[in-house]
Structure 1
Amino acid sequence: MKRHSLLWCPVLAAACLLGVTLSQTTIVPSVTNTTDSSNSSMTTVLPPACDTVNTSACAACTPGTRYSNETLNCSCCPASGLCVSPGDCLPCPRGHYQPLAAQELCLPCAQGFYTNSTGSPVCQSCPPGSYTNATGTAVCKGCAPGYYTSQQNATWCEPCPKETFCNTSSCVRCQGCPLGKESLEIASKECTPCRPGMHRSPKDSMCRICSVGYYQIKWGQERCEICPKEHYCPSPDVNPIKCPNDAFCPEGSTSPEYCMETFFRKSGGTCELAPITIALLVIAAGMALLCVILLILRRRKESDPELAVSRAPLLRKAHSLGRVYGVAWDAEPVYAGW
């Protein structure tokens, strides 16, 4: 008897090992159950082992999740979209959502929307300064420097217009260039300072050259300085130059002003006549006075009556009237010699 017991031990051990193996193997075939009701036959196909599932606890998968017939806890339920417990429903992955209950599929977020968590019933709008141009996105991209968007759920970013800039990412709006700087291109990441000889004031949209008589030797200035007195500024991008001793340089001068050489000379803040000029003026005045005196004397002689009487015989010459072809003439006829 004891010997028979020893012989059965290996058999029982093999049976136990086989039983464990069978319990870990999924049973593929389905069980068909046929019932008769009201003279009709209804066939229900049940998944394997569904008789062990408490299908009375089946409930619809909530929004943000989906059901799967690949699990017994969902496929054993009498209707689609039901699972035995909420934990049996599969949550929607990141970038996907499901607003309805008892759905089999999750939907990808549209362009301009995202969700960075699982089990989302809705997608969120990309905040201003970010965008996404793809579907099923888990995160939004920030606008690159030089670009911006002030709208929600944007699908692209706009380049910063001229005279503005953005030097960081995720810009909601572009900033205007500060005074003394400019931006002449779109999508600028920074503004360029005005170079020496130029400036940009609040009323200007770009850097401008300094006016005549002004100068500016620094970068990024909003105004130019007027050329000081006793200096002149030939170019707006150079330092004022000291005025020569024999020249005049009032405030705002672009070049020195000289007195007329030889005839004038500088005296303090004005020009005065040179000695040679004074001498020439005296001589010219004397000659003019002499001419006037001579003219007066001549006119007096011509108007003297005694002189006119004495000169009268010399001016007159008596002669008889002549005729030339019947026309009276006051001179003797001239013959050609025949």
Structure 2
Amino acid sequence: MYRRSVILMCLILSVVVRNAYTDTKDCPAGSYCPPSIKTAQPVLCPAGTFSNVGQSVCTPCQSGFHAIKPGSTYCTICPAGYYCPNAHLSPLPCPLGQANDQRGQISCANCAIGHYTTDNGSTHCLDCPPGHFCDDAASLPKPCRLGEANNEMSQSHCKRCGVGNYSQTLGQALCDICPPGSYCNDPAVSPKKCPVGTFSRSGQTICTPCTVGYFMPYIGSTFCDYCPVGHYCPDVTQVKQPCPPGTFNDKYGQIICEKCENGYYTVNYGSTHCIHCPQGHICNNTYSLPESCPSNRLTRQTICLDNIG
């Protein structure tokens, strides 16, 4: 009788143990089941952690990963253009002036000098275009100011135009050279025409005055005219003047005309030489036509002589 009772007890215990083993389940993924806590329900992994099946503790997300909801079975890598400093929070977009071209980052990189971004969450910084400068990576490129230019990419400032050059519009990639007939003494101002009596070649800050014997009565000239023969040029700002009757000029570049000598004349304007008073005539002045002597008298250029003998 005793033996039968022992056997029956053993059978009952084996069934209880088997049923207990059968009812035990693995701790589900996304949860943890501490062995020291007797509970019927697994505990969800908190945000920033995860777990696989049958874990007694949750695993923190590694740097650059995140899990924003409790009960995560895995951590998500931080996308490019974002940074994840806290595993339990959503990814943060890179702010203006910063970028990230790789995943799994906890911070964004500042744009290099001469670069910028236009939006939050940028994966790369943009090159500052020619004609502009980028002194603030969080702002749009600024056009080069008047008197400045920039023909290179990724610049933080524009260069001032050199001597004899200018830029009269915003955002120029190159400075313009001052044209002939003008002067540029301020690179931020349009070229000014050379005044009368002066001239210039290209790239000049001042105009050159005409030298003595030259003239230029017009503005914006690239040269001065040489005073021609038969004329005189006393003022470089005025047109050439023809030599008046009784005077002449047989040379270029003169500021006065020469008077005809006694016995010579010229009645025209712009003469290059004086005419010898012809025989049988008198020339009382240098600017009138010769007068005929009486038939019985000779001439000595300026007077008529009695014909003796």
Looking at CA atoms only, which structure, 1 or 2, has the larger radius of gyration? 1
Q: Distance in 1 between matches of 2:233 and 2:253?
A: 8
Q: 1:66 aligns with which of 77, 83, 90?
A: 83
The aligned residue for residue 213 of structure 2 is: 213
8 Å CA contact retained: 2:147, 2:166: yes
The aligned residue for residue 141 of structure 2 is: 140
Q: Distance in 2 between matches of 1:204 and 1:144?
A: 21
What is the identity, as a one-letter code, of the residue corresponding to 1:101? Answer: R
Q: 2:107 aligns with which of 102, 105, 108?
A: 105
The aligned residue for residue 25 of structure 2 is: none
- Deviation, structure 1 residue 205: 8.0
User: What are the within-5 Å matches in structure 2 for residues 178-193 of structure 1?
Assistant: 178-185=179-186, 187-193=187-193
> Between Structure 1 and Structure 2, which shows a larger proportion of helix residues?
1
SS at match of 2:107: coil
The aligned residue for residue 22 of structure 2 is: none
* Residues paired across the two proteins, number: 224
SS at match of 2:265: strand
Q: 1:270 aligns with which of 264, 270, 274?
A: 274
User: What are the within-5 Å matches in structure 2 for residues 254-333 of structure 1?
Assistant: 254-260=255-261, 263-267=262-266, 269-270=273-274, 272=276, 278=300
Question: What TM-score, normalized to structure 1?
Answer: 0.56
- Deviation, structure 1 residue 65: 0.9
- Deviation, structure 1 residue 160: 0.4
User: What are the within-5 Å matches in structure 2 for residues 86-97 of structure 1?
Assistant: 88-97=90-99
Over the matched positions of the two proteins, sequence identity in percent amounts to 25
8 Å CA contact retained: 1:164, 1:188: no
8 Å CA contact retained: 1:96, 1:115: yes
What is the identity, as a one-letter code, of the residue corresponding to 1:192? Answer: K
- Deviation, structure 1 residue 97: 0.9
8 Å CA contact retained: 2:80, 2:100: yes
Q: Distance in 1 between matches of 2:206 and 2:240?
A: 25
The aligned residue for residue 118 of structure 1 is: 120
- Deviation, structure 1 residue 230: 4.2
- Deviation, structure 1 residue 159: 0.7
Unaligned runs of 5+ in 1: 1-30, 37-43, 76-82, 281-338
Seen in structure 2, the aligned counterparts of structure 1 residues 122 and 225 have a Cα distance that, compared at 3 Å, is same
User: Within the alignment, does 1:224 sit opposite 2:224 as a pair?
Assistant: yes
User: Within the alignment, does 1:174 sit opposite 2:169 as a pair?
Assistant: no
Q: CA RMSD in A?
A: 3.7
The aligned residue for residue 289 of structure 1 is: none
Unaligned runs of 5+ in 2: 1-30, 37-43, 52-68, 268-272, 285-298, 303-309
- Deviation, structure 1 residue 129: 1.6
Question: What TM-score, normalized to structure 2?
Answer: 0.60
Q: Distance in 1 between matches of 2:283 and 2:79?
A: 114
8 Å CA contact retained: 2:166, 2:190: yes
- Deviation, structure 1 residue 99: 2.6
